Amino acid sequence: MAERWRVRPGAKVDLDGIDPASTAGAPGGRDTTLAALPALQKEMAGLQDRLAAERRQSLLVVLQALDAGGKDGTIHHVFSGVNPQGVRVASFKVPVGPELEHDFLWRIHRVTPGRGEIGIFNRSHYEDVLAARVRGLVPEKVWRPRYELINGFEAVLHHGGTTIVKLFLHISKEEQRRRLEERLRDPSKRWKFRPEDLLDRARWTEYQVAYREALEKTSTRIAPWYVIPADHKWYRNWVVSRILVETLKEMDPRYPRPVEALPATIE
């Protein structure tokens, strides 16, 4: 089923043709789909337990979205049932200090998941071909070669035993406006609002172009992109859970056998 949302390598991406409010493939309406989530979360927790015990491979989940796209909410809801000891979340802001003294992938490689772990990137190395491009932080001669460098970097991770899943949470401009206004009204969410959000919103079309090119140039067999219609949070959470469960099943982690003979009884 994950193929429904996967960007095939070399395929053209028409984000305008993908409805952010779509609920295609869901087991039913909102209530039915929400009722299906606990079983998926339980299955994911079991697969994660085997992954941690096996300690031979790892999973990297890359989350990208425009402001208010739902990255934090996805992490909170989708991973609520897994063992936190086996999960690491990394968020990436504008590079500062030592990060500026190294290549753009240096700070990324330092926090990739180890064997047995699930790593989650809340924003990622893709900001270097998205925000850096749209905001004009670096010239085109700097950001354009990064597509190939990113593909090579992800190939290195794959070669080392890391499975990579990249998720673009696709929301509409109208839904983004609603969520940003909600942040302004709600004191518990107001801290998330930044004046820069409005500047980026004004560049909506430029970001759509940048995302389209990033999806087209970096969705590969070993590190595919998935475009998730994310206007409906309940549907988003179900789709992400389905994709991750299917991915972990394909990884097929297994409990290791004991290295020594076990006693029949314990006194």
**Domains, in order of start, for the chain:** 2-251 (3.40.50.300)
Q: Is the pLDDT of residue 261 over 80?
A: no
Q: Please enumerate in sequence order all residues whose Cβ is within 8 A of that of 129, keeping only pairs 6 or more positions apart, or say none.
A: 143, 146, 147, 150, 210, 213, 214
Q: Is the pLDDT of residue 66 over 90?
A: yes
- pLDDT of amino acid 192: 86
**SS3 of 164, please?**
strand
Which amino acid would we find at residue 43? E
Q: Is the pLDDT of residue 259 over 80?
A: no
pLDDT band for position 258 (cuts 50, 70, 90): confident
Tell if the pTM clears 0.85, that is, is over it.
Answer: yes
Task: Considering only the C-alpha atoms of the chain, give the largest distance between any 2 of them, rounded to a whole number of Å.
Answer: 71
- pLDDT of amino acid 264: 77
Residues 2-60: tens digit of each pLDDT: 899 999 999 999 999 999 999 999 999 999 999 999 999 999 999 999 999 999 999 99
Mean residue pLDDT across the chain: 96
Q: What percent of the chain has pLDDT over 90?
A: 90
Q: Give the E-state strand segments of the chain in sequence order.
A: 58-65, 87-91, 118-122, 162-170, 225-229
Strands 225-229 and 58-65, how do they pair? unpaired
Residues 180-216: tens digit of each pLDDT: 999 999 888 888 888 888 999 999 999 999 999 999 9
Which amino acid would we find at residue 120? I
Q: Give the E-state strand segments of 6-94 in sequence order.
A: 58-65, 87-91
Tell which wins on pLDDT, 179 or 264: 179
DSSP secondary structure letter of residue 102: S
**SS3 of 145, please?**
coil
131: its two tokens: 């925000």
Q: Where are the alpha helices (DSSP H) in 110-203?
A: 131-134, 140-143, 146-159, 173-185, 195-202
Q: Please enumerate in sequence order all residues whose Cβ is within 8 A of that of 81, keeping only pairs 6 or more positions apart, or say none.
A: 38, 41, 42, 44, 45
Mean pLDDT across the stretch 168-190?
A: 94
Dist. CA 166–CA 91, nearest whole Å: 15
Q: Is the pLDDT of residue 135 over 90?
A: yes
